[in-house]
Amino acid sequence: MTTVIERQYRLRTLFDGQSLIARMHAKYPLLGCEPLVENATMKLHKKYWWSIAVVVVIGWAFSHSRLVALACAASKSTSHFVPDGRESRVLYEPGSEPLARVVSVALPQAVRTIEEQQYRPFSAPVRVYVCATLDSFEAYCPGARSAAGCVINKRLFLSPKLEATPERVPRIVTHELSHLHLQQRVGAIQLHLAAPPWFQEGLAVCVSEGGGAESVSEDDARRSIAAGAHFVPEKSGSLFFQQEAPAYRLSHHMFYRQSAMFVDYLRTRDERQFQALLAGIDSGQTVGNSCASAYGCNLDDIWREFLAGVTTKEADAETQLAPR
Ligand SMILES: [Zn+2]
């Protein structure tokens, strides 16, 4: 039979490992329950290490399966895509001819826009692949079924869902070309290491005049930032742990719009320094390092400057709207 003290002690031990042991030894030196204490401690330690092991295995399996899916997609053949008669840089799967025609019309201007606004030519021929079904699109762009387009391993794919919103095509093509341009010049892996999602997406939305962030206006984004719901710019990227919209509890369009506003702030603050920033990334530097050498100050300082400007502008807008 266990005494009341032993029962209380057993319960408390489960919630408070090593520190409680020391206290019980001091308080009840004659209790003679060291084995019980040791067992409880061992259980806690086992639980701890098992939890860590489970997290590590789940993380490994997740990143491994994602890695396998990306590797398969990156090497998947596109030989069945047919070049469009009007624009040979656009290739389509049989069944997606109408969308391919709209893309062919938009492509030349989109290419000019990117080369002008990202200050350099494409370093390899441009190819745009128009998919006929969502399944096909997802096979080339794993995990991006709801996206309008994606660039993977220097190949640009467009989703058939754009057929329903042809007016978005010029902006989306320009947005995806921004990614293709950087991937061609920097290399897919190096780009992900050097430039975090906020920079890549912000630049793409910025140069495409809102492509990919259409459902969130600058006013919406400003209100969100002023209320404290915003991303925080990382200085470098990562291959497996990219900080995207969910990491900041933002919708994708909100994350894209806020990122674009900050990239635009970097550009309008001083365009020559912005050019130097892109030149640094072009040579493989991280956004943080390139920003420091281009602007002569830390990215965090410029971010604080941006936040202060947005907050002031939002306060002014609220004052003007307030009833008098
Ligand atoms: Zn994008």
How remote is the CA of residue 243 from the centroid of ligand 1, in Å? 14
How remote is the CA of residue 200 from the centroid of ligand 1, in Å? 7
Mean pLDDT of 221-246: 93
CA distance 296 to 6: 65
Instruction: Please give the pLDDT value at position 17.
Output: 43
Q: What is the four-CA torsion angle of 214, 233, 151, 250, rounded to 10 degrees?
A: -40
Q: What percent of the chain is predicted at pLDDT more than 70?
A: 81
Single-letter residue type at 127 = R
Tokens, residue 181: 């341009």
How remote is the CA of residue 212 from the centroid of ligand 1, in Å? 7
How remote is the CA of residue 203 from the centroid of ligand 1, in Å? 9
How remote is the CA of residue 159 from the centroid of ligand 1, in Å? 13
How remote is the CA of residue 179 from the centroid of ligand 1, in Å? 7
How remote is the CA of residue 158 from the centroid of ligand 1, in Å? 12
How remote is the CA of residue 235 from the centroid of ligand 1, in Å? 18
Q: What is the four-CA torsion angle of 230, 234, 235, 236, rounded to 10 degrees?
A: -140
- Answering whether pTM is above 0.75, one says yes
- β partners of residue 82: 92
Q: 115-167: per-residue pLDDT in tens?
A: 999 999 999 999 999 999 999 999 999 999 999 999 999 999 999 999 999 99
Q: 262-309: per-residue pLDDT in tens?
A: 999 999 999 999 999 999 999 999 999 999 999 999 999 999 999 999
Instruction: Please give the pLDDT value at position 289.
Output: 97
How remote is the CA of residue 255 from the centroid of ligand 1, in Å? 11
How remote is the CA of residue 46 from the centroid of ligand 1, in Å? 44
Residues in the chain: 324
Q: 144-154: per-residue pLDDT in tens?
A: 999 999 999 99
Whose CA is closest to 126, among 79, 76, 176, 171? 176
How remote is the CA of residue 175 from the centroid of ligand 1, in Å? 6
Please report how many Cα atoms fall inside a 13 Å half-sphere around the Cα of residue 9, on the Cβ side.
23
What's the alpha-carbon Rg for the chain, to the nearest Å? 27
How remote is the CA of residue 231 from the centroid of ligand 1, in Å? 16
How remote is the CA of residue 5 from the centroid of ligand 1, in Å? 63
CA distance 13 to 11: 5
219 Cβ contact list (under 8 Å, min separation 6): 317
